[in-house]
Amino acid sequence: MPLPAPTREEISRHKQSTVMLSRVAGSLYWMSRYLERAENQARLIDVNLQILLDFGQVPDETLKEHWVPILRSSGDEDLFFQLYETADSGNVTEFLTFRTENPNSLISCICNARENARQVRDQISSEMWEVLNDAYHFIQDANAHKVWSEGASAFYDQIKRFSHLFQGITVSTFSRSEGFEFIQFGKYLERADKITRLLDIKYHILLPKATDVGGAVDTAQWHAVLRSASAVEAYRRFYVADILFKKVVEFLIFQDSFPRSLMFCLEQMNDFIQLITNGAESAEGRRFSDFLSRVSGAQVNQVFNQGLHEFLQKAQLEIAAIGGYLFTTYMYHPPVDIQAEIRFHQQQEQQQQIR
Amino acid sequence: MLFEPYQTEDFFDEMFASDGVTRPHYRGVADALNTVPAAEFRNKQAAVEAAFMRGGVTFTVYSDSQGTERIFPFDCVPRVIPAEEWEVIERGLIQRLTALNLFLHDIYHDQKIIKDRVIPPQYLLSAKHFRREFMHFSVPKDIYVHICGSDLIRDRDGRYLVLEDNLRCPSGASYMLENRAALKRTFPELFLASGVHPVNEYPAELLKVLQYCAPAKFASNDAPNAVLLTPGVFNSAYFEHAFLARQMGIPIVEGRDLVVRDFKVFMRTTSGLVKVDVIYRRIDDDFLDPSVFRADSLLGVPGLVNAYRAGNVSLANSIGTGVADDKVVYYFVPKMIKYYLGEEPILPNVDTYLASEPKDCAFILDNLAKLVVKSANEAGGYGMLMGPWAAKEEIEEFRKMIEENPRNFIAQNPISLSRHPTWTGENFEGRHIDLRPYILYGEKIVVTPGGLTRVALRKGSLVVNSSQGGGSKDTWVLRQ
């Protein structure tokens, strides 16, 4: 069951007397988003590396078919082919894990998370900082060759562990104040976005021939989708052991009891939006509420009728829209026009002297 | 026995009266450490460094092209000061800061010390940080220096001398606190043997000072809103800024988070503009306000000085304290103590020669290879000539600079700084140290019992500053 919506009294009780700089709110938000992004990236790479093991020696063309959709769904395909010739496991893993040119790589995400945390060092507990610092040193020390020789899975597991530890420490030690709201909102927003991209990977895989649907490859690919979301066991508790793609999509979009489903994330986002805005109304807030209502009232068949890809694209737009609105309203002040300020204050001083 | 091979050589040693003879106040430390096997000590030292790295207790060095984070090296053997020695130090520092504050008030108002010919006027008027614009300006509670770090050294006879006063943005208090916490975790047994004054009151005392110096206009039942103004994450001391802000529970802000409207200072928050009453600024005067001082400063707040003049915001430390930071003005501090307080200085200065005085200048130029020469306004150990260790070219360079601008230089005989057993990685050897105590001026002057003992880690080096390869030790003031 998702958290019940906070009442007005609860909303005001949540607000503490200490104020929060907009810049600080923004850093907490981005710290949280980058770490969630790192965790999702780690899952994605790990699962997709393992799935290849089931297929033994794979020809290059098939490898490319496996990896390019992943690059495409996060929008990194062009950048990848600027840096590499072939999309094989080694290149793609290095690109997604270690290349600093890739703003979405694991190393970029962790560096950004840590850098944002450093900017607001005074707000977070020492334990929170230490986890991010440990993650940073861990990934700075590793390199692609070490990962390959010592065990890729162990490496990505460690990244996930850092993220879980950070989230656990945050929930256990961070006061339920404004800062917490921005952290959680950022986390669920990022997770919602990532789940849509995960589901969309299948769209980017070349449409299989009619006989391939439901076949071994297709099933394995949907299985990989579930595993990337850590959803296999939870899925099985709801449905039969067969991986049926319609059920997978239904589970990952609509199952509001599963903490990585789109529905769950959207509802969490909504709760934190109420807290951040203190219940204030806005056109963008209403737009998001409408979107949320449409999704919760919808069924998986409608999604397929509309087109899964189209549905996911729309969801990404809505998520970006509410994120952008909250950012510009609460976390952002336009940069100071120093020259204008200087002139203004020099004039003020002259007026003071004339008096 | 870890300390058995230790040699004091021809220096005043803090721990040993002579080879093998431990000073009484170090008995507890010596007994506890002597039985620790070298391997275990090495492991603990490494563990402490790893903990500092994890905790981000780092220091960024400006001269590094990357500006990399380094930990401020910490040596596990504490520096111990017995109660009766500290009592004198404390009295001396309180006396000194009282006189310095009176001096600042005087030269920004009636300048009696100049009129009575105690200090020649040209030294003040030519002082780099004298802020003429703030003549006859009243600061809240008449306190100019809220936070002061007057560095102390000991000579070959063990006499405490004041090396210099730091009255603008003295740093290192966070390391004092982190060092104590680190030593407690690593060698708790050391503390049991001795009775050590705690240092963890520092943030609470500092906050009291900040609230005490709120503007006279401030009238409210709530506490004044104090913030810490930092240049930002890329400043070498950022760790300390964040640490102190967090310990005091006050917001840490950058210039861009503040805006001045209607001669008042506000923070830009998620709920709109919130008024600021007191700013603990870790930014030099020059960079504080581009509409008044350096126009190219991106760190400051346009209009801040207007708000300060209007009496709507207090600054700790106040604007203009840098004039007393000047190493030439340092020469006159003993005279200030006599002039304002009618007392002899409890803590003497190091004997100093002024290049701007013709007789002194002749002496300096004749003896450059034997003297320590310092620029009047540099910090961090830069702008300094260590005559006996310098190359000929460096000496000639300084000769030229002194001849061109004598006002900018002082010289001192090299002091044989005291030494302290310090871990080299393999064993204990003597390394030169100094002491930076932290003095707070609020309702009264409070000297934190302890401070930062800085160590010149390189063998034979006398330069203890962190930016030039120094390290630090926990500093104990014993209850007895």
Cβ–Cβ below 8 Å for B243 and A349: no
What span, in angstroms and rounded, lies between the C-alpha atoms of A222 and A244? 8
Every domain of chain A and the residues it spans: 18-331
Band of pLDDT at residue A252, cut at 50, 70 and 90: very high
3-state secondary structure of B70: strand
* Neighboring chain B residues of A18 at a CB cutoff of 8 Å: 251
What span, in angstroms and rounded, lies between the C-alpha atoms of A40 and A34? 10
In the prediction, which pLDDT does A64 show?
Answer: 80
Residue B192 in any domain: the answer is no
- DSSP code for B62: T
3-state secondary structure of B386: strand
What average pLDDT does the structure give for chain B?
A: 91
CA A58 to chain centre: 31
In the prediction, which pLDDT does B381 show?
Answer: 64
Residue B463 in any domain: the answer is no
Greater confidence, A291 or A87? A291
Across-strand partners of B447?
B439
> What's the total number of domains in chain B?
1
Stretch A316-345: mean pLDDT: 90
Band of pLDDT at residue A205, cut at 50, 70 and 90: low
What span, in angstroms and rounded, lies between the C-alpha atoms of A19 and B338? 48
Band of pLDDT at residue B128, cut at 50, 70 and 90: confident
Burial class (CB in 10 A: 0-12, 13-18, 19+), B282: buried
Cβ atoms within 10 Å, residue B418 = 24
Find the domain containing B377 and state its range: 351-414
The answer to whether residues B242 and A121 touch, using CB atoms and an 8 Å cutoff, is yes
Greater confidence, A67 or B205? B205
pLDDT at B326 over 90: no
Q: How many CB pairs under 8 A join A and B?
A: 91
What percent of chain A stands above pLDDT 70? 88
Stretch A138-163: mean pLDDT: 83
Lookup: tokens for B61: 């060095």
Of A20, A22, A118, the CB nearest to B233: A118
DSSP sequence for B113-124: HHHTTSS-HHHH
Shortest CA distance to B195 belongs to which of B82, B98, B286?
A: B82
In degrees, rounded to 5, the angle at the alpha carbon of residue A136 between the alpha carbons of residues A132 and A140 is 170
Sign of CA dihedral A248, A249, A253, A255: negative
Residue B170 in any domain: the answer is no
Amino acid identity for residue B58 in this structure: T
pLDDT at B223 over 60: yes
In the prediction, which pLDDT does A355 show?
Answer: 60
Residue B455 in any domain: the answer is no
The answer to whether residues A108 and A102 touch, using CB atoms and an 8 Å cutoff, is yes
**Pairing mode of beta strands B226-229, B278-281:** parallel
In angstroms, the separation between the Cα of residue B327 and the nearest Cα of chain A is 33
Q: For testing the chain B interface, which of A338, A343, A350 should be mutated: the one with the most B CBs within 10 Å? A: A338
pLDDT tens sequence across A178-192: 899 999 999 999 999
DSSP sequence for A100-113: TTSTTSHHHHHHHH
What span, in angstroms and rounded, lies between the C-alpha atoms of B96 and B341? 10
Q: For testing the chain B interface, which of A11, A17, A19 should be mutated: the one with the most B CBs within 10 Å? A: A19
pLDDT at A12 over 60: no
Residue B55 in any domain: the answer is no
The answer to whether residues B374 and B327 touch, using CB atoms and an 8 Å cutoff, is yes
Stretch B204-211: mean pLDDT: 96
Tokens 């203004």 belong to A344
**B233: nearest CA partner in chain A:** A119
Greater confidence, A42 or A205? A42
What span, in angstroms and rounded, lies between the C-alpha atoms of B125 and B36? 57
Interface confidence, given as ipTM, is 0.73
* Neighboring chain A residues of B268 at a CB cutoff of 8 Å: 21-23, 333
**Pairing mode of beta strands B272-276, B278-281:** unpaired
In the prediction, which pLDDT does A9 show?
Answer: 39
pLDDT at A130 over 70: yes
Burial class (CB in 10 A: 0-12, 13-18, 19+), A298: middle
pTM above 0.90, yes or no: no
Across-strand partners of B165?
B150
Q: For testing the chain A interface, which of B52, B270, B275 should be mutated: the one with the most A CBs within 10 Å? A: B270
Greater confidence, B409 or A9? B409
In the prediction, which pLDDT does B97 show?
Answer: 97
pLDDT at A108 over 90: yes
Cβ–Cβ below 8 Å for A341 and B302: yes
What average pLDDT does the structure give for chain A?
A: 86
Beta-carbon contacts of B416 under 8 Å, excluding residues fewer than 6 positions away, are: B10, B11, B12, B155, B156
CATH number of the domain bearing residue B378 = 3.30.1490.270
Greater confidence, A234 or A201? A234
In the prediction, which pLDDT does A246 show?
Answer: 85
**A24: nearest CA partner in chain B:** B269
DSSP sequence for B124-143: HHT-TT--GGGTTPPPGGG-
Shortest CA distance to A152 belongs to which of A102, A96, A229?
A: A96
Shortest CA distance to B160 belongs to which of B335, B415, B359, B404?
A: B415
